[in-house]
Amino acid sequence: MAEPSDDEQRSPLSPALIATLVAVPVMVIAVFITFAAVKYANRPNSESIPVEDYSTAQGEGSEKCPAFLDALPDRLGDFDGKSVDGATARWSKEGSDPVVIRCGVTRPDELAPTSALQVIDPVQWFMTDTVAGRGQAYVSVDHRPYIAMWVPAGSGNAPITDVSALVAQRLTRAPLDFGK
């Protein structure tokens, strides 16, 4: 029996197989990086916040909005850097949606006698929007003018508690209006 030659003792892996074994992990890493980049680009802070799109109403109590927004504290819980633009105030925190308050919004159309309200002493809030993993939007419904508030997920209850106290101090208490 003859001894195997040097060519026969070499690895049975062909150059095409080696190229495939290298290319597959490189492709998996490229797909992962692309996925992460797309997810980062579409993070919550890049999406609109529901209360920013709520329409405002000229009417009962809307003249109180500038003074109310000015009276809001510079810090709400872990959120700071208050900025006011028209009827909207914002507070920011790294890695989170901002807390947003919009003064003088219209009465929520969905508000009905059977609506569930959350009382944060002494203000009654109606939850208008929930965005999974991002937060909730509320409207204070027993004071005028109506105040809409975006509370980001993980912000705790300090922002809405502080705003409730100011709503009770500065705005006129009014009966619930369920529309006609």
pLDDT digits (tens, 9 = 90+) for 118-162: 999 899 999 999 999 999 999 999 999 999 999 999 999 999 999
Look up residue 43 and give its two tokens.
Answer: 């993070």
User: What's the predicted TM-score (pTM) here?
Assistant: 0.73
Which residues, including other chains, have CB under 8 Å from residue 127's CB and lie 6 or more apart?
116, 118, 136, 137, 138
Q: Which tens digit of pLDDT belongs to each residue from 102-111?
A: 999 999 999 9
**Dist CA 162 CA 156 (whole Å):** 11
Q: Which tens digit of pLDDT belongs to each residue from 2-33?
A: 565 555 556 677 777 777 877 777 777 777 67
